[in-house]
Amino acid sequence: LFVSCCLAQVHEFHRIAMSFQLPETPVIVSGALGGPAVMFAVAPFRNGLTLGSTNTAANARGLYRQVFARGLAGGWTGGMYPAIAACPQFLALGPVYHFYAGFAGVAGGVVLTSITESAMCYGAETCNAQMAANAKTPGTFKTVHSSYKPFGPGVGIHIFRNIIATAGLRMFCTPCTSLIEGVSGKSNGFTQLGGDFAGNVCAACLSAPVHQLYGFTVTTPELQVLSGSEKTARMVQFLKDQYLETKDGRTRLSAVVPRDLFMRTMYVAVAYTMYSSLERTLVKMWPK
The H-assigned helical ranges of 43-96 are 43-52, 60-67, 80-91
- pLDDT, mean of residues 126-137: 77
| Residue 7's pLDDT band (cuts 50, 70, 90) | very low
Which of 13 and 195 is assigned the larger pLDDT?
A: 195
Give me the percent of the chain exceeding a pLDDT of 70.
Answer: 89
Closest CA to 24 of 82, 94, 71, 88: 94
Q: Band of the pLDDT at 225, cuts 50, 70, 90?
A: confident
pTM of the entire predicted model: 0.78
pLDDT at residue 259, rounded to an integer: 86
What average pLDDT does the structure give for the chain?
A: 83
**What confidence score (pLDDT) does residue 108 get?**
96
Helix (H), strand (E) counts: the chain = 13, 2
The band of 157, judged by pLDDT with boundaries at 50, 70 and 90, is very high
Q: Work out the average pLDDT over 255-277.
A: 87
- Where are the alpha helices (H) located in the chain, listed in sequence order? 2-19, 25-29, 35-41, 43-52, 60-67, 80-91, 97-136, 155-167, 173-184, 189-218, 228-243, 256-264, 270-285
Query: How buried is residue 7: exposed, middle or buried, by Cβ count under 10 Å (0-12/13-18/19+)?
Result: exposed
Pick the residue with more confidence: 103 or 124?
A: 103
Cα–Cα distance measured from residue 260 to residue 52, given in angstroms and rounded to the nearest whole number: 8
Q: Is the predicted pLDDT of residue 97 greater than 60, yes or no?
A: yes
Report d(CA 29, CA 151) in Å as an integer.
29
Residue 76's pLDDT is 84
The maximal CA–CA distance of the chain, rounded, in angstroms, is 79
Going by their DSSP bridges, the two strands 244-247 and 250-253 should be labelled as: antiparallel
The amino acid present at 164, given as its one-letter code, is I
**pLDDT the model gives residue 21:** 60
Query: Which DSSP letter does residue 142 get?
Result: S
Q: Which residue has the higher pLDDT, 20 or 176?
A: 176
Mean predicted confidence (pLDDT) in 191-214: 90
> At 53, is the pLDDT very low, low, confident or very high (cuts 50, 70, 90)?
low
Q: What pLDDT, on a 0 to 100 scale, did the predictor assign at position 92?
A: 84
Looking at per-residue pLDDT, the higher value among 195 and 46 belongs to 195
pLDDT in the model for residue 111? 97
Tell me the residue type at 183: V
* Rg from Cα positions in the chain: 22
The pLDDT assigned to 159 comes to: 96
Closest by CA to 52, choosing from 263, 248, 285, is 263
Q: Is the dihedral of CA 170, 173, 175, 178 positive or negative?
A: negative
